[in-house]
Each structure stands twice: as C-alpha cells, then as structure tokens.
Amino acid sequence: MVYYDLAVLLYILSFLSLLINYYFNKPIFQTLQMLFVGIAIFANATQILMQWLRMSSAPVYTLQALLILVSLMLAVVYLLINLRYKRPYAGVTLLPMIITAGLVSLFFTTEPVHSQALASLWLYVHIPLNVIGTALFLTAFTAGLMYFLLERRLKAKRFGRMFDRFPPLAVIDTINSAALHLGFAFYTAGLLTAAAWMRFKFHKAMGGINISDAFGGSLQNKIVLVCMVWLVVAVILLTKRVRGMSARQTALASVTGFASVILTYTGVVLFITR
C-alpha cells in the first residue's frame, strides 16, 4: 500500500494547495495542485498494477480494492475537468471525496479473495464500467451541490472571491449534465455486459448450475442493486429529455438521485443481504 499511501498524501496536498490559492491567489499553488494530482494518479494506478501482479488477478475482490479504483477514476475525472475548463475549482468538490475514499480504504482488509468462476468479464469489463459510471454520478452530485451553493450566494448578492474562483453556473450545469449522461452510458454498458455474460458464460462454464446456488444470494442482491441504481438515473434523464429541466432542476435531480443511490446501497447492506 506504499504507492496508494503516497497517492492519498498527494491528494491531500493538492486540496491544501487549492485552499491556499483560494485565499492568496498565487499561480504557484495552482501549478503545484495540478502537479500533485498528476503524480497522485500515477501512484494510484501503480498501486492497482502492483496488486494485480501480486495477486495474478484484477484487484477488485475487496471493498478496499474497489475504493482504490474509485479514487483513481474520480481523480481522472477531476483532472479532465480541469484540463477542459481551465478552472481548478470546477471539480474542487471531488477532491474531498477522493481523500475520503482513500482514508476509508485504510480500515479494510487487503487480503485477496480469488474466484475462478468470476475471473472473466465480471472483473475486467463489468466492474470497471460500473465504477466509472458511479464516479461520474458522484461528479454530477458534487456539481449539483456546487450549483446550489453559488445560486444561494447569488440570490443573497454575496459576491466575493468565490465568484472569482468558481466557474459560472452555466459551466457547472454543463458538467452536471455531461456527468449524468456519460455515467448512465457507462453504467448501462456495465449492466448489459454483466447480463450477457451471466446468461451465456455461467450456464456454459458451470454446466447449467443455478448462479444463486453456486454463489449464494449475495450475487442476486447485487444485481437488484445495480438495476435499481440504473432505474433511478434513467428516470431522471428521461424526465429531462421529455419534459425538460432547468439548470436548477437538473442540479436537484442529481443530488436527490445520488442520495437515492446511497439509500439503495444502505438498504441492500442492512436488509437484503441478511
């Protein structure tokens, strides 16, 4: 975990650099912030690669491994937003999420759990697609929070350095909508890949053995979870396309939609998997 510990430290330094730049507006801190994020992404990816080589399989079997992957995807999204809009604060709300994922991962085991039956598209296609989709949904969620924060200050006519540093509401709305659509595309691809793979690969490889008999009810619960998350986002995007949504309504939908995703995860963990 040496590389990932370094990555988490660099993510923290990047966030601190942004805070210092927010108050003092020194270009050197903005440059340092981007440098820290770039090196952190490299260290984060190196940790995943090292674990992969050590385990001889993709390191996605544990919650810790998934959190490491999520933090990498969020950091890449943050970097892409910065490069696209040339505004370091456009994705600033993602950094606390990345740091939180890193700190939480330290409390979970690193022991690999191998499953030859699952070592196929389930690992190498489905899980990465779902993780990318989740990272983009989280991006939409944080963009929605940023939108409400700036809108509230705008209505109160409380102008200041926040309006100088943060992107305009139109840019935040663009990030929000793009993250929702791209996240839904990745999540849908992950869901379709899993459905097709389980229908053909499992039945053939396991001689027609029922999936739930082979792996227990937890796999079915995860399928229900993924479908519920997909349905929530699908309803939001369908409403946006058919009835239309203002920037504020889109921000509200992103926040409430992601909140429902969290509630779904919690419900599955507390009730369905018992």
* 130-157 residue pLDDT tens: 889 888 988 999 999 989 888 888 887 7
Return d(Cα 43, Cα 31) in angstroms, integer: 19
Token output for 238 = 């369908």
Token output for 92 = 């600033």
Provide, rounded to the nearest whole percent, the portion of the chain with pLDDT above 90: 23
Is residue 214 very low, low, confident or very high in pLDDT (cuts 50, 70, 90)? very low
Higher pLDDT, 20 or 258: 20
Return d(Cα 60, Cα 68) in angstroms, integer: 9
Mean local confidence (pLDDT), 193-214: 58
Helix H or strand E segment including 149: helix 127-155
Return d(Cα 201, Cα 194) in angstroms, integer: 10
Domain ranges, ordered by start, for the chain: 1-114, 118-274
**Residue 229: HSE in the Cβ half-sphere, 13 Å Cα cutoff:** 31
Q: Is 158 helix (H, G, I), strand (E, B) or coil?
A: coil
Mean local confidence (pLDDT), 54-58: 67
**Contact between 91 and 81 (Cβ < 8 Å):** yes
Token output for 67 = 């959190």
What was the pLDDT predicted at 112? 52
